Amino acid sequence: MRAYNVPARVIVLDPISVIKLLAGITLLLLLASIAGSIIFYATPFTYLHSISLFFFFDYELNVPTYFSALLLLLASLILTVITFLEKKQASAAVKYWAVLAAGFLFMSFDELLSFHERLVKPMSRLLRAGNHGILHFSWVIPGIFIVAALACFFARFLIRLHSKTRLTFVLAAVTYISGCIGLELLGGKYIELYGVRSLIYIVCATAEELLEMAGVIVFIWGLVVYAA
């Protein structure tokens, strides 16, 4: 019986192609959100308003929300693969990769189900009645403490990474946190001053979601390069 050598198939992920694809989709969603905002706030055509909300960044359970959740899920899947590879090599950093994989999976579900929004009411009660300014979205208070705790936890892990990977991860984290917490604080101030329909709040809300997407894409870039 003759034996045949069948060449193994290797799947190669080109980091540049991956990032171009994700960035291209993000740009299209941004343009659609801007167009949707104009339709919703500047036109009287109510039948178009419901369509525009499908692409509006500052809205839940629409196309940008699902795309953001998929980005976070993709990051979690890549992190899971890296975790198994690190475990196979008996790496001391395996616990950090596992925590990241679980964390991004939770963030993906949170993007869809908005678990963090449930912190608003109890935190608002602690702040008492009245205008809270930058703390209008009061979930950012525990959010800041969580970010600080995670920074301490991952400090040693980051130091041990290759300099380029470390720089990419830090850039991704700063970009993402600037959106989800930084602009959330700023948006809270302007929503109390001018209302949810004000142009300045819409700009803040759109920039917030854009920075979150950009941060995850940069992180995915770093992960794909690392895994390669």
pLDDT at 163: 93
At residue 11 the predicted structure's pLDDT band, cuts being 50, 70 and 90, is low
pLDDT top residue among 61 and 104: 104
Average pLDDT over residues 80-107: 95
What are the tens digits of pLDDT across the range 19-53?
899 999 999 999 999 988 888 777 776 666 777 78
What are the tens digits of pLDDT across the range 48-92?
677 778 888 888 889 999 999 999 999 999 999 999 999 999 888
**Other C-beta atoms lying within 10 Å of the C-beta of residue 163:** 7
**Other C-beta atoms lying within 10 Å of the C-beta of residue 4:** 4
Residue type, 43: T
Tokens of 204: 């803040």
Alpha-carbon Rg for the chain, nearest whole angstrom, is 21
pLDDT at 83: 96
Angle 112-50-179 from CA coordinates, rounded to 5°: 40
pLDDT at 61: 85
What are the tens digits of pLDDT across the range 152-204?
999 999 999 999 999 999 999 999 999 999 998 888 888 888 877 788 888 99
Q: Residue 132 CA to chain centroid, in angstroms?
A: 25
| Three-class SS state of 72 | helix
| Three-class SS state of 116 | helix
